[in-house]
Amino acid sequence: MADTREKALQDYRKKLLEHKEVDGRLKELREQLRDQTKQYEKSENDLKALQSVGQIVGEVLKQLTEEKCKFTDRYYISSVTAQIHIF
């Protein structure tokens, strides 16, 4: 009877250690999931911002017809120097 009790205690301790290891891996995976979710949400927000800017640029370019471009000065703003150039 003492042998079965010792074996049951050993099995219990072994399972307890396995449980702690699995619990630790689960915590790591949850943390990785949280980080990846944050990264995904940031990428989605960046993509939405880029699409908004693209839509605005498209609307501006749509308003510029060839005739308007022939008879008016053309301007562009240098993003590096923040200067307006006329050509």
Amino acid at the residue 29: L
pLDDT tens figures, 65-78: 665 666 555 555 55
In this structure, what token pair is assigned to residue 11? Answer: 């099995």
Question: Max CA-CA distance within the chain?
Answer: 104
Asked if residue 33 has pLDDT above 90, the reply is yes
| pTM for the structure as a whole | 0.54
Asked if residue 85 has pLDDT above 70, the reply is no
